[in-house]
Amino acid sequence: MNAAKPLLLTMGDPAGVGPELIALLCRDHPALAARCVVVGDAATLARACACIGSAPLAVPVIQATSLSAPVPWGQVSAEAGRAAADCITWATREVLAGRAAGVVTAPIHKEALAAAGVPYPGHTEMLQALAAEHLGLPVAQLPVRMMLANPELKTVLVSIHVSLRQAIEAVTQDNVLQTLRITSAHWARLGLAPPRIAVAGLNPHAGEGGLFGREEIEVIAPAVAQARAEGLDVSGPHAPDTVFMRAREGAFDVVVAMYHDQGLIPVKYMGLAHGVNVTLGLPLLRTSPDHGTAFDLAGTGRADPSSLIAATALAAQMSGS
């Protein structure tokens, strides 16, 4: 990764706010946009420029999908899901081939992906599968994790897009330990000092010594002990109702949360404007905004591009581009 290689910015679901967020980024942050190539549908992006009253994009646009016409704003459709998946696939393969520094993904809609027959519930799983295919590995041998970060708080998740029942079942010693290793490796990849990792408990009050559940005693604490034996700066399990506050106050660099909502609600409650999703464990750089397609705002020109701008700026910083 170097300054000669662009960041690829995928348009996301063409019926959502992604295209106009890209248009706003390009209009208002030309220096940052100059580091990017947009991967999408030219007509959809032209429509997005028109809806914000902007001239056409002044950055290259790769036509990575074949829409017969721009899809209606704010509607779930198989055509939109297929177009979004086409762009993600093209961009990911370019980065894996070494022709781009990383990928920044605008929001997609999971129902649209499913309608298009895409066998992945979201970006993370799709990127994992494409990277595993590139490396010639089974997907299970390329574990990845989701980190949501803003300037005040960072959280990494043991599991992501599964039911709450499945998420509880995913709290195993191996999965927790793997999450801790992947988290620490991300800091090392960036050349940073080892992070102070706090591990949240699964149950109220981290089980209260087994009164409210034994996962902390039988699963999470042994994973923490093994990680510490490997030299990682890890503590816990901590009470999940206070650990995020303590991290925000500076006691920890990152919190490992046991499931999706446990880790994401605290970050998103602090505001979406500067939140960035980073996929850890991939052999490529990927960031994205921490919000969805916002169908209710699509086409209005009122969507806030702050999170996409933050994701692009972080990707540029991480890649050295």
Strand order in 197-200's β-sheet?
61-63, 36-40, 7-10, 102-105, 286-289, 276-280, 145-149, 154-157, 254-257, 197-200, 234-238
Structure tokens at 109: 């809609």
Structure tokens at 308: 């996409």
pTM of the shown model: 0.90
End-to-end CA distance of the chain: 7
CA distance to 6, 48, 181, 232, 314, per residue, from 159 (Å): 31, 34, 15, 21, 23
CA angle 165, 258, 264 (to 5 degrees): 100
Q: What pLDDT, on the 0 to 100 scale, is given for residue 1?
A: 40
Cis preceding linkage at 6, omega within 30:
no
Q: Which of 60, 74, 56 is nearest to 14 (CA)?
A: 74
Each of the 321 residues of the chain gets a pLDDT tens digit; together they read: 445 899 999 999 999 999 999 999 999 999 999 999 999 999 999 999 999 998 889 899 999 999 988 999 999 999 999 999 999 999 999 999 999 999 999 999 999 999 999 999 889 999 999 999 999 999 999 999 999 999 899 999 999 888 999 999 999 999 999 999 999 999 998 889 999 999 999 999 999 999 999 999 999 999 999 999 999 999 999 999 999 999 999 999 999 999 999 999 999 898 777 889 999 999 999 999 988 999 999 999 999 999 999 999 999 999 876
Spatial neighbors of 136 by CB under 8 A, at least 6 apart, are: none
Q: Which helix (H) or strand (E) holds 198?
A: strand 197-200
Q: What pLDDT, on the 0 to 100 scale, is given for residue 321?
A: 62
